[in-house]
Structure 1
């Protein structure tokens, strides 16, 4: 058996805050959005490079507070881009881990943690 790609689903509570964080701050693009009716919860897909995330306002889809590790070669340059945006709710830094990676951890407005990881040499 061969497994395919994984698409994490992250819980969101507010469309405006989600778009401000994922699109305006992190630089993801909205690929598509879906609502069953006009006043129903939003479900959408965002992507940046090869990273694809699903964001859901549906309470039965997932619990808030998930953690996702995202491969991010060039994490230092990405961190500098984010700092330049001066987003008032997050000022992420990059840290060197004891296991040799460089990691930048950011919590979204809903308590989900995104960890951007650049693997070390070796």
Structure 2
């Protein structure tokens, strides 16, 4: 097994968050609820990048910042009507998901 780090992002409504993360190219892998009326815990994946979206209040705090390094930031920027900004290390955009979590998305220079 390869070791991995999977950020957990607090979301209020997993179904709403999932639709937003799909715009970034993520796809749902699985969803777990202990009972149908209890909070959801969802894994999403884009290439080799995985995130957990959790409705559980104790799992994470809203307002997280995740950096996502991608091969083509322009493709994502276009979906959100944005233009990447240059930095000394990458061309980047910053997005906020429906729950206020920030995603800084960049394509490295060179």
Tell me which stretches of 4 or more aligned residues in structure 1 moved more than 4 Å. Answer: none
Q: What pairs with 1:38-53 in structure 2 (closer than 5 Å)?
A: 38-53=36-51
Contact 1:21 1:108 in 2 (8 A): yes
Q: State the partner residue of 1:8.
A: 7
Q: State the partner residue of 1:67.
A: 65
Aligned length: 109
Q: State the Cα distance separating 1:101 from its structure 2 match.
A: 1.0
- Unpaired runs of 5+ residues, structure 1, are 84-90
Aligned partners of 1:92 and 1:64: how far apart in 2?
24
- Unpaired runs of 5+ residues, structure 2, are none
Q: State the partner residue of 1:100.
A: 89
Which is greater in Rg? 1
Contact 2:45 2:51 in 1 (8 A): yes
Contact 1:75 1:103 in 2 (8 A): yes
- More strand by percentage: 2
Distance 1:44 1:16, change over 3 A: closer
Contact 1:12 1:56 in 2 (8 A): yes
Aligned partners of 1:16 and 1:32: how far apart in 2?
12
Aligned partners of 1:64 and 1:50: how far apart in 2?
24
Q: State the partner residue of 1:88.
A: none
Q: State the Cα distance separating 1:94 from its structure 2 match.
A: 0.9
Contact 1:13 1:57 in 2 (8 A): yes
TM-score by length of 2: 0.89
